[in-house]
């Protein structure tokens, strides 16, 4: 069983590094995975501490996010500081000729060699894996585990095909991914809203409060699911929310018109405002679910923050 050290910058990727640690620990055992190797006891030379930790490791997994280089108050990069623990981890691994697997997260790219210390050598040219926080997270981790197994078994060359930034044959084309997301996070909640509307308004003529509850709960749930299971950006979430609000309200209006024979278009100012209210409730609830899930995940991710 290989022993794995995870290097990451706490201000850059603490939450997803914690998820990676959990999955690797579950697969290899907690005693086989080291994470906070720069969580150094007081009075200890951090270089010695890191060196001792990496001496017990078979491989270093370097998690790289968009802020991995770090930033100082004067605008310089922390990675260029000799006292930067992340730099010490990479340098020590290179000196010991320890295999390093860069893992790109949050859409990050490998840094240019000009942005790195000269001691990093060809680090910028290492082939990197990609781990996304969406529904591809599991498959990306499985590929990473396969690469770790092969590299630590002394067959790094055979691991290379597994480290192609998640763009192998198993990757879902962008167009198909968008179609899947539209079906799961737009069409499905739209159908559920129409079902609730039909039951509350058309079938049983219940108090519209029940419809309002449905127009809050359903978008809230699917907005959170979009944040948790997809890698869509906040801009995409806003588009999904507005689209569901407009289409959902319009579809419910058409459904009621077909059932009751009333005109499709609102006839009074009150009816117009009623439609606007329902569209706004749906859209805002969707966004609340998306933002709320992200905030909760970030808060829970703080437990992985280095001290």
pLDDT at 169 (0 to 100) = 38
CATH number for domain 4-171, candidates 3.40.1580, 3.20.20, 3.40.50, 3.90.1720? 3.40.50
DSSP 165-194: TT-STTSPPHHHHHHHHHIIIIIHHHHHHH
Residue count (the chain): 307
At 246, list the tokens. 């407009």
Question: Coil, strand, or helix at residue 63?
Answer: strand
Quote the tokens at residue 68: 């991995």
- Measured between its terminal Cα atoms, the distance across the chain in Å is 28
128 touches 64 (CB < 8 A): yes
Per-residue pLDDT of the chain (307 residues; tens, 9 = 90+): 899 999 999 889 988 999 999 999 999 998 899 986 545 566 667 778 788 889 889 999 999 999 999 988 888 999 999 989 999 999 999 999 999 999 999 889 999 999 999 999 999 999 899 998 877 888 899 899 988 998 888 644 444 333 333 333 333 445 667 788 899 999 999 999 999 999 999 999 899 999 999 999 999 999 999 988 876 778 889 999 999 999 999 999 999 999 888 888 988 999 999 999 999 999 999 999 999 998 887 777 544 333 3
Q: Give the distance, in angstroms, between the CA of residue 135 and the centroid of all CA atoms in the same chain.
A: 9
pLDDT of amino acid 163? 39
Nearest Cα neighbor of 229 from 170, 290, 173 is 290
**Domain locations in the chain as residue ranges:** 4-171, 174-299
What is the pTM assigned to this prediction? 0.52
pLDDT (0 to 100) of residue 307: 33
Rounded to the nearest 10°, the torsion over CA 66, 68, 69, 71 is 80
């Amino acid at each position: 069983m290989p022993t794995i050290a995870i290097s990451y910058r706490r201000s850059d990727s603490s939450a997803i590094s914690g998820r990676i640690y959990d999955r690797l620990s579950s697969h290899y055992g907690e005693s086989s995975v080291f994470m906070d190797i720069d969580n150094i006891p007081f009075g200890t030379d951090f270089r010695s501490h890191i060196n001792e930790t990496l001496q017990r490791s078979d491989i270093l997994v370097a998690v790289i996010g968009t802020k991995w280089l770090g930033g100082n108050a004067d605008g310089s990069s922390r990675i260029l500081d000799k006292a930067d623990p992340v730099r010490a981890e990479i340098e020590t691994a290179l000196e010991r000729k320890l295999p390093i697997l860069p893992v790109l997260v949050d859409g990050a790219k490998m840094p240019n060699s000009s942005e790195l210390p000269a001691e990093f050598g060809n680090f910028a040219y290492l082939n990197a894996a990609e781990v996304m926080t969406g529904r591809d997270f599991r498959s990306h981790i499985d590929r990473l585990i396969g690469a770790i197994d092969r590299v630590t078994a002394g067959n790094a060359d055979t691991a290379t095909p597994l480290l192609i930034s998640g763009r192998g044959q198993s990757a879902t084309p962008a167009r198909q991914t968008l179609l899947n997301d539209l079906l799961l996070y737009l069409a499905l909640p739209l159908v559920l809203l129409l079902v609730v509307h039909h039951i509350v308004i058309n079938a049983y003529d219940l108090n519209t409060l029940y419809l309002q509850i449905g127009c809050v709960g359903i978008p809230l749930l699917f907005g959170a699911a979009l944040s948790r299971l997809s890698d869509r950006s906040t801009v995409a979430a806003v588009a999904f929310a507005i689209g569901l609000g407009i289409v959902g309200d319009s579809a419910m209006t058409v459904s009621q018109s077909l059932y009751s024979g009333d005109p499709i278009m609102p006839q009074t100012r009150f009816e117009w405002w009623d439609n606007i209210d329902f569209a706004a409730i749906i859209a805002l609830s969707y966004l609340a679910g998306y933002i709320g899930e992200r905030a909760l995940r970030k808060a829970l991710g703080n437990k992985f923050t280095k001290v």
